[in-house]
Amino acid sequence: MLDELKAKETAAWDSLSGYKFIMFGYHAAVWVTLNRIHRCHQRNPFLDVVKLAKVKIERIRYPKEG
């Protein structure tokens, strides 16, 4: 199962590096689903990307004044 997770992670990053955002989302979602249903308890490799997106959207919604 860990090999399958690694393959999906690689496919996701490869898609993102080629600006294939929909395919990135697909492979990342499959990774998350497999990790959950097989109870692999692996750290989500996409967590840093999610955190970055949260910071960026926060800055857009609530820009600093001054």
Residues 22, 66: Cα–Cα separation, whole Å: 37
Cα 37 versus chain centre, distance:
17
Whole-number pLDDT of residue 64: 86
- pTM equals 0.86
Tell me: the pLDDT tens digits for 47-57? Answer: 999 999 999 99
pLDDT of res. 30? 98
Q: Tell me which residues of the chain have a pLDDT lower than 70.
A: 66
pLDDT at res. 66:
63
